[in-house]
A and B are shown apart, each in its own frame.
Chain A
């Protein structure tokens, strides 16, 4: 494929390119059929005066850059995959792996955006100038190819990450087994418990801590080293090792005890803090509700006042209704008086 320029071996066909440009210029075909390698052609493009070809060369430059970057990313990815596979329990190159992962992620995202830009450029170029069918298909093919490459790289990256997480899980399990809680051991000399004697992987000092915490320097310890069997060498060396391991075992146990007490105290303290928070919230809520209660009280008083006023009004009204007859009678008399006067005038 034409975009594979990351590797060191490429052929510089700049001169060929110049010849072709001359030919093309003579034959008025604008661009098309450039089978010149991108890496070598990148420098020569600048001398091309035609904007159409310049546009396309711009496209090709970018495609070349993207192709190169994809290659570099896949190289880094293969390094990362190696690192992930290689990591053992104890010398785990976590930091490097994480750095590499971050770098690769960044590169992939930038490649993605660059590819999108490339596509946009291609579209805009296609709109501006006269479209030659070959050119469009060619540029489309190039873009597709780059996209496929990028997708493959991303897929590989994902696989490597999955592999890495699985490895980490396995390491965690192993680590837990080997530096397990000392209370899970057997001290009883006639109960043979060596649950992890079968785990050979890179844990040379690890079987000793549990098996040894029970033994002391007494003669009975002779039984114990023999029972521990295959992985150890001489009993004497082992005894001293065991004593040492035992000392180390005792101190962590004390620490564990103390630590657990400290942890319990911390828990108690934090619980008390939470409780104080809850109490404060409770107090706030109750005071707010007290305010609401006061409002309700006020509303009820207003209602009472209104209703009393209304009642007095109605009482007055009732009074006025009942005593209204006088006025009516008076008005009636006045009317009759007028009628009389009227009748006198007419009759």
Chain B
């Protein structure tokens, strides 16, 4: 479950190509010689998908072994390249976050961008590494996971409580036997004590 690349683009009106505003990719698992071509591939496919995503829409496209998710919000488009196992919902919530963050940090300056900007945006790179685990991106997933863990722990607790119950039952048996025995002992002693007149 990994993210290969995250891109932020300005999705221009349909006629022109979108302009890349920020780009972060993780190509470490490709061989050295393939890295640059993979980067270019990412750029190109990202541009294509972004140009074909209408505003205020989300889209997911399957391309070879990657799923490309795109979210276009009023001209600012975030594109993510994930593999097939990455849950779609987490992907989109991640893209949401990225767009929000971008708007917070860059305001509206991106609207005037005319060509690809080559400045790296550290947040994007951090996001790429942090969100390799889909639970981070999607709070719902995280909550669900924690709840499941809690449930497992509770099950174990209930099992141990049941074992405790069994032990308590056996203890109760033994203690009642003990009290019976001590009562017999007392009666016997009293009996022996009462008839002592003879000898």
Q: Which residues of A approach B to under 8 Å, CB–CB?
A: 182-189, 191, 213-218, 250, 253-254, 257, 260-261, 264-265, 267-268, 271-272, 274-275, 278-279, 281-282, 285-286, 288-289, 292-293, 295-296, 299-300, 302-304, 306-307, 309-311, 313-314, 316-317, 320-321, 324, 328
Contact = CB atoms under 8 A, between A and B. Distances in A.
A272 B52 CA distance: 41
A268 B182 contact: no
Contact of A307 (B48, B157, B185): B185
Nearest to B183: A306
Contacts of A265: 140
A218 B189 contact: no
A264 B89 contact: yes
Contacts of B158: 278, 281-282, 285
Contacts of A278: 151, 154-155, 158
Contact of B58 (A254, A274, A295): A254
Contacts, number: 159
B141 A303 contact: no
Given A299-B172, A306-B186, A215 B147 contact: no
B192 interface: yes
Contacts of B196: 317, 320-321, 324
A288 to B, nearest CB: 7
Contacts of A189: 48
B144 interface: yes
B61 A282 contact: no
Contacts of A253: 57-60
A271 B49 contact: no
Interface in B141-173: 141, 143-144, 147-148, 150-151, 154-155, 157-158, 161-162, 164-165, 168-169, 171-172
A310 B188 CA distance: 8
Nearest to A290: B168
A300 B175 contact: yes
B172 A292 contact: yes
Contact of B14 (A218, A279, A303): A218
Interface stretch (B62-70, B105-113, B120-128, B129-137): B62-70
Contacts of A272: 147
A313 B182 CA distance: 13
A77 B74 CA distance: 61
Contacts of B49: 187
- Binding site secondary structure of chain B: helix
**Which of under 10, 10 to 19, 20 to 34, or 35 or more describes the interface residues of B?**
35 or more
A250 B54 contact: yes
Contact of B175 (A267, A275, A296, A316): A296
Given A187-B49, A268-B144, A317-B192, A303 B63 contact: no
B82 to A, nearest CB: 11
A188 B154 contact: no
B89 A216 contact: no
Given A188-B61, A275-B147, 5 more contacts: A183-B67, A217-B14, A218-B15, A271-B151, A289-B164
8 smallest CB-CB distances across A and B, nearest first, come from: A183-B60, A306-B182, A299-B175, A313-B189, A310-B186, A187-B61, A303-B179, A302-B179
A302 B180 CA distance: 9
Contacts of B161: 282, 285-286, 289
Contacts of B162: 285
A281 to B, nearest CB: 7
A187 B165 contact: no
A185 B62 contact: yes
B154 A307 contact: no
Given A215-B52, A310-B185, A186 B57 contact: no
A275 to B, nearest CB: 6
